[in-house]
Amino acid sequence: MALRNENNIEGKVDPANGIFVEMEGVMEVRCMSGDDKILDRQDMYVFQAELRTIPADFCHKDMKTGEQYLFFCLVCCCDLKKVDPSLKDHVGGKKHIRKAIAYKQRTLGYEPEPVNQPKKIKLAAPKPRIDISISLRERLEEYEGPVVGLCYVTEFADPWKKTLPLMYNCKLEGCKSAWGNSDDMFNHVKKEKHIRNYFRSIFPDDHRVNSQTKNNLIKLAIDFCEEHNMMQAADRRYDEIITCFDAKEYHEIASRPMGWSENKQKTT
């Protein structure tokens, strides 16, 4: 913190050299009566310009009159009755420095951040509402990435309650009977796990499939789809999706708990 004293000499708060404040309004020197009434006061900025060396006994109480000088910090709202170490330690403390800087900012027209303000909680943006009434085909028609293995996907519908959302599962080996609504299955068929399992099924003797990275798998899927003319959304073989209009099978899938898995089903 910089200051300019009456002699136009710029300096910093330096208690060792008698400089305790850099501007008026931070601290003042008070003369107190025996019954704690303020008899006189002087701003510390003016006081330190007039008296660079404060006597060690400056704050000693006059036993005859009961009067006593002390330093009152206006920004911290506390009094100090010793020059060393009380006054010197105080002006060098983090709490005082923070409040003195905040006072200076307000004086200069800048509003400081509140001290010890609670951490601002950033609210996560609400997730877009998913329309599960849309079919898997409708979702895939809006997707530009590669799609393979639709022949392993079954679409289930309740023939008596056509307003119920469609349900799906994937019987591709390694996909562990992935299941869910159209959004769940859309996210499943476009991920590398489903893609890897599909290439395993058509290239069972090529063990390189297992070591492919995610990016390599996506590239292989793109090349495969382009080679078989099904990269464009309109050219995909949506008719390979098996359809099942059976109320019992539909509700068996629709009523599965969140933690359901094929392995758990087999052990029960």
Look up tokens 């002006």; give the residue. Answer: 91
- Give the model's pLDDT for residue 9: 33
- Give the model's pLDDT for residue 112: 66
Here the tokens at position 197 are 């399992």
Q: Do 28 and 21 contact (CB within 8 A), yes or no?
A: no
- Give the model's pLDDT for residue 164: 94
- Give the model's pLDDT for residue 258: 78
Give one DSSP letter per residue of 10-24, joined into a string. EEE-BGGGTB--SST
End-to-end, the C-alpha distance of the chain in Å comes to 74
Here the tokens at position 256 are 């599965």
d(CA 97, CA 91): 7
Look up tokens 């136009």; give the residue. Answer: 8
> pLDDT in tens for each of the 268 residues of the chain?
333 333 333 347 888 888 999 899 999 999 999 888 989 999 999 999 888 888 889 999 999 999 999 999 999 999 999 988 889 999 999 999 989 888 888 888 776 666 566 667 777 777 778 888 999 999 999 999 999 999 999 999 999 998 999 999 999 999 888 999 999 999 999 999 999 999 999 999 988 888 899 899 999 999 999 999 998 888 899 999 999 999 999 999 999 887 777 776 666 6
Question: Whole-model pTM?
Answer: 0.53
- Give the model's pLDDT for residue 130: 84
Extended beta strands in the chain, E state: 2-4, 10-12, 27-32, 38-43, 68-73, 78-80, 153-157, 167-170, 178-181, 242-245
Measure CA 163 to chain center: 40
By residue count, the chain amounts to 268
- Give the model's pLDDT for residue 106: 84
DSSP helix/strand/coil, 235: helix
